[in-house]
Structure 1
Amino acid sequence: MEDHNTSKLSEPASPVASVASADIAAEFAALTAEEQEQQRAEWSQELARVEEEINTLRTVLASKTRHASDLKRKLGITMWKEITDDMNQGLKNVKESSVFQRTESVLKSTGEKTASVFGSITSGITSKFSQMKNSESMRSIEEKVGSAYENVKTRVSTSRSGSINSFPDALNENNSSSGLNSPTDSITK
């Protein structure tokens, strides 16, 4: 049993504790066998007294905890309310922290820069489309497509009366009259 106690003394958790443990072990080893027994008895009594105080404190703490719970219940403070309050306070603390403030400002400036880049790209594309739309070639294509559509629409509506047999026939007839080639004509040529 004596070896068990000395082995505990020789397994310290930190270098400072190892120096203290070595000093205690050296002092204990310097005592006579009778003095060592007396020291162990004192330590055992002190340990019993400390454990009794710990148990008393646990009992008092449990009593105080029950009393606090009763008071909270009487005040209408629920567990959910406490959790919500703790969460809100935690979020407030995070938002007020300097790290959060710096991160927020970096994200805000990055967002603004990204928005300006996308805005310039979008405005560039929009202006190119408006230039294309206003160009002579686009107007010419629009006019041809529009007139072809109107002709086909007219032919299809008249096909109901029996003058044209099908939509492809009307389309082919319109293409030949407007000067546009059908996709099948361009493949065969």
Structure 2
Amino acid sequence: MSEPTSPAASVASADIAAEFAALTVEEQEQQRAEWSQELARVEEEIVTLRTVLASKTRHASDLKRKLGITVWKEITDDMNQGLKNVKESSVFQRTESVLKSTSEKTASVFGSITSGISSKFSQMKNSDSMRSIEEKVGSAYENVKTKVSTSRSGSVTSFPDALNENNSSGLNSPTNSTDK
């Protein structure tokens, strides 16, 4: 016999043991015989039920096969039903609304950051420093372009020479004078 796992089972077992001990030896033997017969009937019913269950399971499988219901379809249907149940649950609904609200707030924050950065770039572009840089770059470009176009007529032989000539005229260039 296995030991009882709960206090209520312990009390019940103790009660049964006390009742059994109160019986005479003949009554104890008779009780054991009744329990043995009942155990045999229950075990026989269990075997019968297992046989019937196996037969019903085979029959259900045959019917599913005839209907074209595959294991994959059953799994897919079960998964779809499970997802539907989850989506309809109140926990999912609350979580979804919280996530939606959070994403809207996040998008709003990023939108304001982006507009702030755009505004700063616009201010930088319109600043005096940026205009001065644009003018110097434009002027240097025009000078180099003029020198290169005149090189075609023979006064300057190459683009690096035009740059070097431009450097010697006092304009800054990204090339180093030691690269000549």
**TM-score, structure 2 as length reference:** 0.84
Distance 2:9 2:112 in 1: 67
Secondary structure of the residue aligned to 2:172 is coil
State the secondary structure of the residue aligned to 1:123. Answer: helix
Alignment RMSD, CA only? 3.2
CA 139–120 in structure 1, closer or farther in 2 if over 3 Å, else same: same
- Residues 38 and 137 (structure 1 numbering): CA distance in 2 closer, same or farther, change over 3 Å? same
Residues 158, 164 of structure 1: 8 Å contact kept: yes
**Secondary structure of residue in 2 paired with 1:95:** helix
| 8 Å contact kept, 2:164–2:177 | no
Counterpart contact for 1:148–1:178, Cα < 8 Å: no
Structure 2 Cα separation of the partners of residues 158 and 28 of structure 1: 125
* Residue 136 to residue 19, structure 1, CA distance change in 2 (3 Å): same
CA change 1:181–1:26 in 2 (3 A) is same
Gaps (5+ residues) in structure 2?
A: none
Secondary structure of 1:184's aligned partner: coil
Q: Does the 8 Å contact 1:10/1:21 carry over to 2? A: no
Instruction: Choose 153-162 or 104-113, whichever is displaced more.
Output: 153-162
Q: 1:63 to 1:147 in 2, by over 3 A?
A: same
1:64 is displaced (CA, Å) by 0.8
- Percentage identity across paired residues of the two chains: 92
Residues 1:157 and 1:18: Cα distance change in structure 2 (over 3 Å): farther
CA apart distance, 1:62: 0.8
Q: Deviations over 1:133-168 (max 9, x none)?
A: 122321221121133234335545666887556655
> Structure 1: which 5+ runs fail to align?
1-8
Change (3 A) 1:142 1:52: same
The structure-2 alpha-carbon separation of the partners of 1:188 and 1:35, relative to structure 1 and needing over 3 Å to count, comes to same
Which 10-residue stretch deviates more, 134-143 or 65-74?
A: 134-143
* Whole-Å separation in 2 of the counterparts to 1:132 and 1:61: 81
Give the TM-score taking structure 1 as reference length.
0.81
